[in-house]
């Protein structure tokens, strides 16, 4: 009788082990991290509130050789957390004429004296852990008309 009971218990344990190994089970894990958390951004950087951008137009040989147009960002309101700024210049036909990731002077040649052009000034944020991951804010739009010429 002792042997039968032992064999039954042993058979039950084997069956239970086989059943548990064949059935999928949930994984238990614990994750820890010692890095400090960083701010999560759900939108890009803000938009500059104001800017002073001018365009000086100078004709070359009375306009026969075209016009030299220099766009200068004199000042602008900085955006919190922005790591850089971009400016784009568009002509009256909405064609991109120039673009720069720095706010230096832009020299643009045109065949005729420019009509009213426009600029877009936007803040950019480069993610510190991955500088190629750059977020751009909405642009501040403004008109450009020729001074001089």
Task: Give the whole-angstrom CA distance, residue 54 versus residue 121.
Answer: 13
**Gap between the Cα atoms of 133 and 36, Å rounded:** 20
Q: How far apart are CA 90 and CA 72, in angstroms?
A: 14
Give the largest CA-CA distance in the chain: 120
pTM to 2 decimal places: 0.66
Instruction: Show pLDDT as tens, one digit a residue, over the chain (149 residues).
Output: 556 676 676 667 666 666 666 555 555 555 555 555 455 444 568 888 889 999 999 988 876 789 999 999 998 888 988 999 999 999 999 999 999 987 778 899 999 889 899 999 999 998 888 888 999 999 999 999 998 65
**pLDDT recorded at residue 105:** 86
In b/e form, how buried is each residue of 123-144, taking b as 16+ CB within 10 angstroms? bbbeeeeeeeeebebebbebeb
> Which runs of consecutive H residues, i.e. helices, occur in the chain?
2-22
- pLDDT given at position 30: 53
Question: Residue 46's pLDDT is what?
Answer: 83
Domains with residue ranges and CATH for the chain: 51-147 (2.60.40.10)
- CA-wise closest residue to 90 among 76, 104, 69, 75: 69
Q: What is the pLDDT of residue 47?
A: 84
State residue 89's pLDDT score.
Answer: 95
């Amino acid at each position: 009788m002792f042997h039968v009971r032992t064999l039954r218990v042993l058979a039950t344990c084997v069956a239970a082990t086989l059943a548990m190994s064949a059935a999928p089970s949930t994984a238990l894990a614990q994750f820890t991290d010692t890095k400090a958390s960083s701010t999560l951004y759900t939108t890009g950087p803000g938009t500059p509130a104001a800017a002073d951008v001018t365009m000086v137009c100078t004709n070359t040989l009375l306009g026969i050789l075209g016009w030299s147009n220099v766009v200068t960002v004199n000042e602008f309101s900085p955006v919190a957390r922005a790591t850089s700024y971009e400016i784009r210049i568009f002509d009256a036909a909405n064609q991109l004429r120039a673009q720069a990731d720095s706010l230096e002077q832009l020299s643009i040649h045109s065949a005729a004296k420019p009509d009213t052009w426009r600029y877009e000034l936007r803040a950019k944020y480069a993610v510190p852990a991955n500088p190629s991951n750059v977020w751009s804010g909405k642009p501040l739009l403004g008109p450009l008309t020729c001074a001089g010429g």
